[in-house]
Amino acid sequence: MKFREIEKVLLKDGWKLKNVKGSHYQYIHPTKNGKITIPRHTGDIDPRTVRSILEQAGL
């Protein structure tokens, strides 16, 4: 999965961009606890990382 695909899923679920540090984008949700960090690199993100991001987002 690419960065844009993951970002699209998170934005559709209500996550909002909070901060950018280098190539890492951090998102927060108005009702869910915590924050999600997504690396923005060229190419696909490792499937294990994608799985972890989606678990943290509660998806």
pLDDT score, position 16 = 96
CATH of 3-56, one of 3.60.21.10, 1.10.1200.10, 3.30.920.30, 3.40.50.920: 3.30.920.30
Distance CA(20)–CA(59), nearest Å, equals 22
Task: Spell out the SS3 assignment of the chain.
Answer: CCHHHHHHHHHHCCCEEEEEECCEEEEECCCCCCEEEEECCCCCCCHHHHHHHHHHCCC
Domain ranges in the chain are: 3-56
Q: pLDDT tens, position by position, for the chain (59 residues)?
A: 899 999 999 999 999 999 999 999 999 999 998 999 999 988 899 999 999 999 999 98
Distance CA(15)–CA(28), nearest Å, equals 5
